[in-house]
C-alpha cells in the first residue's frame, strides 16, 4: 500500500491480465496481479501427471486429469480390486471381473472341500483299523486273563505238600 500523499501524486498503475488475449477481462493494480494470476481461469496450467506435457486453461485442468493417459492408477471404485489407469477405467467391466474372481474362488473352495473329504476318509479308515486292533488286543487280554485264572485255580486246588513234591520232581528230572 502506498502512502496517501504518494497515491494522490502518483496513482497505482493498473494493468490488464496477461491472459487478456485468451479472454480474461480483469484489470488490476500491479501489486495484485500475481494473486489474480494464480486464480485466473485463463491461466495456462501444466498437467501435474508425470510424463504428460499438456497445458490447458486452469478451468479445464480437472476434466483433463480425469482422462489423462499419464494419470496415476487407482483401484476400481466398485470394489473388484482391479488397479486401473484412466483409459482402463473408461472401458472397465467390473461385473465380468467380479464373476471371474468369484469363479476362481468357487474352484479353490471345491478343491479345499475335496481335500478335506479325502482326509476325513483317511482318518475314518485309520480309526477303523485302530478299533479292530483294540478289539483284537481286548480278546487277547481276555483269553490271557482266562488262562491266568485257570492256572491260579489249579495252583490253589493242589494240596500244599504236593507243591514241594512237584518242585522236587522238576529239580530231580533236570538233574538227571
Q: What is the pLDDT of residues 20-72, one digit of tens each?
A: 888 899 988 888 888 888 888 888 889 887 778 899 998 888 888 877 877 77
Look at residues 62, 82, 63 and name the one whose alpha carbon lies nearest to residue 74: 82
Is 80 inside any structural domain? no
37 within domain boundaries: yes
Domain count, the chain: 2
Collect all residues with Cβ–Cβ distance below 8 Å to 13 and sequence separation of at least 6.
29, 30
CA-to-CA distance for 19 and 37, rounded, in angstroms?
8
Q: Give the pLDDT confidence score for residue 130 in this predicted structure.
A: 96
Domain with 124, as residue range(s), is 95-158
Q: According to DSSP H, which parts of 19-159 are helical?
A: 30-39, 61-67, 86-91, 94-157
Encode pLDDT of 71-112 as tens digits: 777 777 777 777 777 777 778 887 777 788 899 999 999 999
Q: Is residue 65 part of a domain?
A: no
Residue at 74 is within a domain: no
> What CATH code is carried by the domain that includes residue 30?
3.30.40.10
Identify whether residues 102 and 147 lie together within a single domain.
Answer: yes
Residue 146: inside a domain: yes
Confirm whether 16 is domain-assigned.
yes
d(CA 129, CA 6): 111
Alpha-carbon gap, residue 55 to 61, rounded angstroms: 8
**Assigned domain for 131 exists:** yes
Identify whether the C-beta of residue 30 lies closer than 8 Å to the C-beta of residue 15: yes
Percent over 70 (pLDDT), the chain: 82
Please state the rounded mean pLDDT for residues 115-124: 97
Q: With H, G, I as helix, E, B as strand and everything else as coil, classify residue 25.
A: coil
Residue 83 lies in a domain: no
What's the CA gap between 80 and 158, in Å, rounded? 90
Is the same domain home to 99 and 150? yes
Amino acid at each position: 500500500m502506498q502512502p496517501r500523499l504518494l497515491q494522490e501524486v502518483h496513482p497505482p498503475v493498473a494493468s490488464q491480465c496477461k491472459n487478456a488475449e485468451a479472454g480474461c477481462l480483469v484489470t488490476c493494480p500491479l501489486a495484485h496481479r500475481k494473486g489474480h494470476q494464480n486464480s485466473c481461469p485463463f491461466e495456462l496450467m501444466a498437467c501435474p501427471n508425470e510424463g504428460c506435457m499438456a497445458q490447458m486453461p486452469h478451468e479445464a485442468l480437472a476434466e483433463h486429469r480425469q482422462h489423462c493417459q499419464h494419470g496415476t492408477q487407482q483401484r476400481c471404485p466398485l470394489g473388484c480390486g482391479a488397479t486401473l489407469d484412466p483409459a482402463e477405467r473408461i472401458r472397465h467391466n467390473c461385473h465380468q471381473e467380479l464373476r471371474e474372481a468369484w469363479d476362481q474362488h468357487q474352484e479353490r473352495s471345491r478343491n479345499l472341500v475335496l481335500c478335506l473329504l479325502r482326509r476325513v476318509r483317511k482318518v475314518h479308515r485309520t480309526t477303523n483299523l485302530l478299533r479292530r486292533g483294540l478289539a483284537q488286543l481286548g480278546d487277547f487280554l481276555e483269553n490271557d486273563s482266562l488262562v491266568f485264572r485257570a492256572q491260579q485255580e489249579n495252583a490253589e486246588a493242589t494240596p500244599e505238600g504236593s507243591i514241594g513234591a512237584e518242585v522236587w520232581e522238576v529239580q530231580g528230572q533236570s538233574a538227571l
